[in-house]
Amino acid sequence: MNESTFRSLFRSAIGEPEVPIHLNSQARLAFRQSLDRQTPRRRESLALVAALLAAVAVVAALLAPRVFMHDQQPAGTSPPTPSRPTSPSPDPNACRLPIVVADETTSVTKETAGFIDVASGEFSADDNVSFADLPHEAAAPNNPPFAVYDPVVKRWLPSEPLSPDQLSYVYVTINAGSSQLHIYDLAQHSDRTVWTYEAMISPTRWTGDGIYASTVPFVGGEQRFWRIDPLSGRMTNIDRTAFNPYWSLIEASSWETSGLDPERALYRIGSRDTGTRYTNFVIINGKRTDIYSGVNGDSMDFQPDSVSFDGPRLWFSNNDSKYLWSWTAATGLTRHTVHIPNAPGTSMKPVVYYLKGPCV
């Protein structure tokens, strides 16, 4: 709409006739003077109408591009839907880490499962742990280990590895010279024997392509490596490289912490002797990632015993049970003070703790 057309429509709307174009200048002046002799009430009405029309014109100008763009959109195509926001991971200073405290200060080691509140560093025991309804390895029928805390089902489990959806776990029993690989389904409360073999089965991890396990004969023989289909029980004999594709990265390490899964373990190059240089590293996305390099006895006092992988954040215990460490690629190591009952004990009878799952 051009300016001339807008003026014409505006005058028509408020009842103001246009000055005839055929009049001479004197007649035009007389015509305008006659228009100016309107009552104040009429002038106020005209001003109100003018304001309303101006507002309508502004709104129309703002909406016109949007209407045009909407009309130009192909038929059958809807505007893109905003992606659903993902749930943020727990605040590292407002969550609890599942741990197991091993107190060796007495003749019999006492293990206690519970949680560390990261913000305060306080430990609280979990008094509701029970494995009465959960089958586990025959080697420890009356005292099963607190293998892992499962954040999906929100309870402690007596064995691992867990399935990728964390709704099933693997355990092994031994009977009549053979071992049996079991899968227990936590949702269906069902127990299946997947594989029986005349050797000791040691499962290490459960990934999308199967359960990985090694076997060693009960008497003599050599170690073998396997991948087992959790549905059919079909086993495939694989070589060491297929079993552990990161062997070349970790074979130089002299020491390894909790866990047999090579992608969820902590490795160390160098001894614990005072003054010895050492490096701690993990495997992330198939690559060696150094966490810390230092000298035993330095002021950092980073001496981890276990690791928990928590998305992009890693947690580490410390062997003196005084600290907890968190790590991300962006921040590096952050130290948190913890308060473990009776810790640290003595060098001969220590009190140590092990991380058993992600922060919850």
Q: Tell me the two tokens of residue 311.
A: 């998305």
pLDDT value for 318: 94
Residue 145: pLDDT band (50, 70, 90) is confident
What's the pLDDT score for residue 40? 46
| CB of 139 closer than 8 Å to CB of 104 | no
What per-residue confidence (pLDDT) applies to 138? 65
Tens digits of per-residue pLDDT, 308-319? 999 999 999 999
Average pLDDT score over residue span 62-77: 37
pLDDT: which is higher, 107 or 194: 194
User: According to CATH, where is 2.120.10 located in the chain?
Assistant: 96-355
Spatial separation of the C-alpha atoms in residues 96 and 111, rounded to whole Å: 18
Residue 103 confidence (pLDDT): 94
In angstroms, the CA 123 to CA 103 distance is 14
pLDDT class of 61 with cuts at 50, 70, 90: very low
Above 60 in pLDDT, residue 288?
A: yes
Q: pLDDT band for position 257 (50/70/90)? A: low
pLDDT at site 273: 87
Cα torsion 359, 155, 281, 102 to 10°: value is 100
Q: Judging by beta carbons within 10 Å of its beta carbon (0-12, 13-18, 19+), is residue 46 exposed, middle or buried? A: middle
pLDDT digit string (tens) for 128-137? 899 999 998 8
Give me the chain's average pLDDT, please. Answer: 79
User: pLDDT at position 85, please?
Assistant: 36
Q: Is the pLDDT of residue 285 over 60?
A: yes
Which residue would you say has higher pLDDT here, 223 or 55? 223
For the segment 263-276, what is each residue's pLDDT rounded down to a tens digit?
Answer: 899 999 988 888 99
pLDDT digits (tens, 9 = 90+) for 1-38: 443 443 443 344 334 444 444 444 444 444 445 444 44
CATH number of 96-355: 2.120.10
- Give Cα separations from 226 to 236, 243, 272, 343 (angstroms): 6, 7, 34, 41
Give this prediction's pTM.
0.72
pLDDT single digits (tens) 78-129: 333 333 333 445 677 789 999 999 999 988 889 999 999 999 999 999 998 9
What does the pLDDT read at residue 176?
86
Residue-by-residue DSSP string for 224-291: EEEEE-TTT--EEEE-HHHH-TTHHHHTT-SEE-S-S-GGG--EEES-SSTT-EEEEEEEETTEEEEE
Query: CA dist 300 to 135, 150, 280, 296, 306, Å?
Result: 42, 32, 13, 9, 17
Q: Which has the minimum average pLDDT: 39-53, 59-73, 174-188?
A: 59-73
Per-residue pLDDT, averaged over 167-185, amounts to: 95
pLDDT of residue 30: 47
State residue 3's pLDDT score. 39
- Quote the distance between the C-alpha of residue 14 and its chain's center: 65
Question: How high is the pLDDT of residue 62?
Answer: 43
Instruction: Decide if pLDDT at 73 tops 80.
Output: no
- Residue 64's H or E segment, with its range, is helix 40-72
Angle among Cα 113, 119, 122 to the nearest 5 degrees reads 40
Tell me which of 302 and 7 has the higher pLDDT: 302
Angle between helices 3-14 and 40-72 (to 10 degrees): 130
7-16, 148-157, 287-296, 302-311 — which is least confidently predicted? Answer: 7-16
